[in-house]
Amino acid sequence: MSSICEDILANGVITITGECKGCDACVKQCPTGAITVNGLGTKHAIDPEKCVNCGRCLVACPFGRIQDVSMVEDVKAAIAAGKTVVVQPAPAVRVALAEAFGAEVGTNAEGKMFSALRELGFTVVYDTLFSADLTIMEEGYELLGRIFKSLGLPGYENAGVLPQFTSCCPGWVRYAELFHPEILPNLSTAKSPMMMLGALIKTYGAKNLGVNPADVYSVAIMPCTAKKFEASRPEFISSGYQDVDAVITTRELAEMIAEAGIDFASLPEGEVDKLLGTGSGAGVIFGATGGVMEAALRTAYAVVSGEELAVLEIDAVRGEGALREATITIPLNADLKAATGAESVDVKVAIVSGVENVEPVIEQINAGTCDYHFIEVMNCPGGCINGGGQPIEHSIF
């Protein structure tokens, strides 16, 4: 493990510099009360024991006085050393990267992003979209197992408890570990899309590329500062190596592109590499609050009913409210009808946007009154498109 990762595990990703003006803008955004205030106008500090590394404070600081640990130099060194440097960009990166080069907010620059990554010297370009789909398969089947267990179906005795929480947001996972260890059995055991792809790149990927996994350096481009902490966690060695070697943010990628003198706007529309590069629209919407839920419901519906949803847009889970809920009725396929004696199952779901808004849900669980099956939690309001690693365009304010 690199010394940067050890530093991150010990001290966290986010730091306030000596130049803090004590204006309190960051304190209002912090979901965990991790920022120590000695008084308005005095220098603030972050307590790593309470910080979930989300960078919401960094985005909020009007003076740019909050910083995140950078792994960019490590990545450049790996490229310069001629390693097989494999990269995966997250869904939310493609709709924010172009903003840093003056494009309209929300512009989708997927093709130019792939081209830029190749120009920067990355050897293989895969896509976190692929593993977002894989996450839906693993997490979706896990959820169905928990639901079937609750219905008393045989063969699911070992499934976990309900409700099931999503586990793809490392800000939320850290929040649960630090403040609510009692609900950890409710967290899906599925890794995040980034960590799934990391584990596959150094096994299945390396085998298919015909390279030694020891020579592979795996990089993730994320809208997120908490992902730097996640990749550094010591348990992510399932490939026999550190599964993801470095995480760089959308902001840092923009900086690398600018520094390399690449004219982003005139780049051609590039292509992703096959094998671990194809993703569905369900993977794309992972970057938005409610998106993981919608993606999971599209697949759960197909598995449970044996038919595809007639309308794939599930408006009931869209929106930007801090805590939303919906009930989706799924007709049962013939086997499940026979096993349960029912015609359909009502799946109750909730979506939490902004990790602090999970508190009422956890209260319900602890009181034994929670009847949700599946709950999506995103640390950042709006989801990863508003993550702590996204471009900050102070010029619009």
343 assigned to active site: no
Report which of 271, 283, 282 is spatially closest to residue 129, judged by C-alpha positions.
Answer: 283
Rounded distance, CA 245 to CA 77, Å? 12
Residue type for 302, please? A
| Subset of 211-270 contacting other proteins (CB under 8 A) | 225, 233-240, 249, 251-252, 254-255, 258-259
Rg (alpha carbons) of the chain, rounded to whole number: 21
Count of CB atoms within 10 A of residue 14's CB?
Answer: 29
Q: Residues 278, 272: contact at Cβ < 8 Å?
A: yes
142 assigned to active site: yes
| Subset of 22-61 contacting ligand SF4 (CB under 6 A) | 22-26, 29-32, 34-35, 44, 46, 51-57, 61
Q: Residues 168, 292: contact at Cβ < 8 Å?
A: yes
112 assigned to active site: no
For the chain, the first-to-last Cα distance in angstroms comes to 40
Catalytic-labelled residue, pool 99, 230, 294, 376: 230
Cα–Cα distances in angstroms (integers) from residue 193 to residues 152, 166, 286, in the given order: 31, 12, 10
Residues 6+ apart with CB under 8 A from 78: 85, 217, 219, 245, 246
Catalytic-labelled residue, pool 119, 142, 356, 359: 142
Question: In the complex with other proteins, which residue's Cβ is closer, 233 or 324?
Answer: 233
Examine residue 287 and tell whether it contacts other proteins (CB under 8 A): yes
Cis peptide before 223 (omega within 30 of 0): no
Examine residue 16 and tell whether it contacts ligand SF4 (CB under 6 A): yes
| Interface with other proteins (CB under 8 A), residue from 281, 306, 327, 346 | 281
Examine residue 164 and tell whether it contacts ligand SF4 (CB under 6 A): no
| Subset of 295-354 contacting other proteins (CB under 8 A) | 295, 298-299, 302-303, 308, 312-313, 318, 320
Q: Which stretch binds other proteins (CB under 8 A): 89-97, 329-337, 341-349, 358-366?
A: 89-97
227 assigned to active site: yes
Examine residue 284 and tell whether it contacts ligand SF4 (CB under 6 A): no
| Interface with other proteins (CB under 8 A), residue from 116, 173, 221, 244 | 173
Examine residue 180 and tell whether it contacts ligand SF4 (CB under 6 A): no
Examine residue 293 and tell whether it contacts other proteins (CB under 8 A): no
> What single-letter DSSP state applies at residue 89?
E
168 assigned to active site: yes
Residues 6+ apart with CB under 8 A from 151: 340, 345
Q: Which stretch binds ligand SF4 (CB under 6 A): 79-87, 112-120, 304-312, 376-384?
A: 376-384
Residues 6+ apart with CB under 8 A from 42: 22
Examine residue 384 and tell whether it contacts ligand SF4 (CB under 6 A): yes
- Picked from ligand SF4, other proteins, none, the partner binding residue 95 (CB below 5 to 8 A depending on kind) is other proteins
Q: Residues 349, 326: contact at Cβ < 8 Å?
A: yes
Catalytic-labelled residue, pool 149, 202, 227, 228: 227
What is the distance of C-alpha 14 from the center of its chain?
Answer: 18
Check the CA dihedral 26-29-34-39 and report its sign: positive
Residue type for 14, please? I
Question: In the complex with other proteins, which residue's Cβ is closer, 91 or 171?
Answer: 91
With b for 16 or more beta-carbon neighbours within 10 A and e for fewer, the 182-192 pattern comes to ebeebbbebbb
| Interface with other proteins (CB under 8 A), residue from 52, 125, 196, 358 | 196
| Subset of 139-158 contacting other proteins (CB under 8 A) | 140-142, 145
353 assigned to active site: no
State the nearest-atom distance from the C-beta of 357 to ligand SF4, in Å.
Answer: 12
| Interface with ligand SF4 (CB under 6 A), residue from 8, 125, 134, 226 | 226
Instruction: Say if strands 124-125 and 164-165 run parallel, antiparallel, or are unpaired.
Output: unpaired
Q: Footprint of ligand SF4 on this chain (CB under 6 A)?
A: 14, 16, 20-26, 29-32, 34-35, 44, 46, 51-57, 61, 63, 65-66, 169-171, 223-224, 226-227, 378-380, 383-384, 387
Which residues participate in catalysis according to the annotation?
Answer: 139, 142, 168, 188, 227, 230, 235, 384
